[in-house]
Amino acid sequence: MENCTEEQRACIEAVLRGESIFITGPGGTGKSYILDILYKEFKALGKTMSITAMTGCAALLIGPHVKTLHSWAGIGLGREPLQHIVSGIHKNGRKKNNWKKTDCLVIDEVSMMTPHILGLLDEVGKSVRKCYTKPFGGLQVVFVGDFYQLPPVCRSGEKMMFAFESPVWKRAVEKTYALTKIHRQRDPVFQKVLDEARRGELSDESCQILLERKAAKWKGNAIRPTMLFTRNDDINTINQSYLDRLPGEAKVFQATTEAPPGAKPDDVDYQVQRLDKDAPYEATLRLKVGAQVMLLAQQYEERGDKKEPIQGLVNGSRGVVTEFTLCDNPVVKFMNGRTVIIGEHTWSSDETETAVRRKQLPLRLAYALTIHKAQGASLDSALIDVGSATFEYGQAYVALSRVRSLDALYIHDIEKGAFRVHPAVKEFYQ
């Protein structure tokens, strides 16, 4: 708590008072940091905080104690009739306990939630907790996210609507806390550009600053910037083509599985499939000397009898493979100058004794990523395409805000019109 800003402390104190609130703010303002503190505070008080996210990628990025909202709530895809969903939850002890034993439910990435899912959760909470006069059956709920970022996924022809447009939102949210102090980017010039990009009001001055980054030379860099594109089609092709250009045979690293004793093969297979889909690692990773990679997990080093985090080597750090050890572990030189032998990292399906674990090197080829995959990550260096191919509200801002400084940003293509905000979002924040 002593390391928190005043606005972060205000959020934490409100949640500890039992209030249902909405925590919002630009990327890099410490929303995930607040959740980490709250989770520990609740645990110390002997209370249960369940942290959920709208996607599996985001859940695993926050930590192994985080689940996807749909999984935690037991609502599946949320398309079945309410009574069918409630009946299924009553028959499943774990799902029922989630609703009855949780003191506070956190929903991260709330910008991606539809009003339909929010209304369904409200009805399920009331029914399972047998309290029909309070939102979510009296369960304290904390919404976290930034509606200026990626919106809900809509079916073709469906009108885009946001969670705040639901009457449930107005009944449930007692107060909104808007974080303003950005920690990821310290340069005031870049902060101003990002603020305008987030609101879809890019000035001519800011546009000129970004256009200058289009002329910045990056091809001679020892570690090239990660290319961020809007669509997934070409990402794997780009990464593979760059790897193929490097001399020599690729070393292949296959993820391995650890299952608890007595686990049913079908359950293990299901959890492995979920982890392989949602976790950032590659189930089959191919590397060569010279390969450009991105780190997927904080690195630690031995200090006496304990491990301490290596400063600057976190999720999103960029580097290049310089050699392999006799045990075939890759040696990576990172942009901050540190050279580290990379060992396996463990990803877990959850924190329970029945969890399935997957071990793999916390590296992935980082010549190219989709903007969706990069959401939530901080990159040491990125080359972004926010030109005519940008098709989603908030997409250009998300790409721009992944890097920590203008010096680390390179532009492939840019159009002022790519920085768009949905009118309903603009009105909501005003």
**Token digits of residue 176:** 């909104």
Where among 322, 339, 365 does a domain terminate? 365
Cα–Cα distance, 376 to 56 (Å, whole number):
12
Query: For position 219, what pLDDT does the model report?
Result: 82
Domain ranges, residue 130: 6-178
CATH code assigned at 60: 3.40.50.300
Largest CA distance in the chain: 67
Distance in angstroms between the alpha carbons of the first and the last residue of the chain: 30
Among residues 161, 163, 160, the alpha carbon closest in space to that of 121 is found at 163
Q: Which two tokens stand for residue 300?
A: 């630690």
Last residue of a domain, one of 340, 365, 390: 365
**Residue 317: inside a domain:** yes
In this structure, are 40 and 154 located in the same domain? yes
Contacts of 407 (CB under 8 A, 6+ apart): none
4: three-class secondary structure by DSSP: coil
Strand ranges inside 245-305, DSSP E: 251-254, 256-258, 284-287, 292-295, 300-303
HEC string for 230-299 = CCCCCHHHHHHHHHHHCCCCCEEEECEEECCCCCCHHHHHHHHHHHHHHCCCCCEEEECCCCEEEECCCC
C-alpha triplet 208, 211, 212: angle, nearest 5°: 90
**What pLDDT, on the 0 to 100 scale, is given for residue 376?**
66
List all residues 6 or more positions away from 99 whose beta carbon is below 8 Å from its beta carbon: 73, 74, 89, 124, 125, 128, 129, 137, 139
Residue 227 falls within a domain, yes or no? no
In a domain, 355, yes or no: yes
pTM reported for the whole predicted model: 0.75
Determine the pLDDT at residue 292: 92
Q: End of a domain among 313, 331, 365?
A: 365
Q: Residue 183 falls within a domain, yes or no? A: no
Q: Answer yes or no: is 279 within a domain.
A: yes
For residues 52 and 108, the answer to whether their CB atoms sit within 8 Å is yes
Q: Would you write out the chain's pLDDT as a tens digit for each of its 430 residues?
A: 778 899 999 999 999 999 999 999 998 888 988 999 999 999 999 999 999 988 766 655 666 677 888 888 888 777 788 888 888 888 888 889 899 999 999 999 999 899 999 999 999 999 999 999 999 999 999 999 999 988 887 766 778 899 999 999 999 999 999 999 888 888 899 999 999 999 999 999 999 999 999 888 888 888 888 888 777 667 888 889 999 999 999 999 999 999 988 888 988 998 898 888 877 789 999 999 999 998 888 788 877 777 787 877 777 788 999 999 999 999 999 988 899 999 999 988 765 667 889 999 999 998 888 777 776 677 888 998 888 777 788 888 988 888 888 999 999 888 888 899 999 999 999 9
Residue 228 lies in a domain: no
Residue 370 lies in a domain: no
pLDDT value of position 13: 96
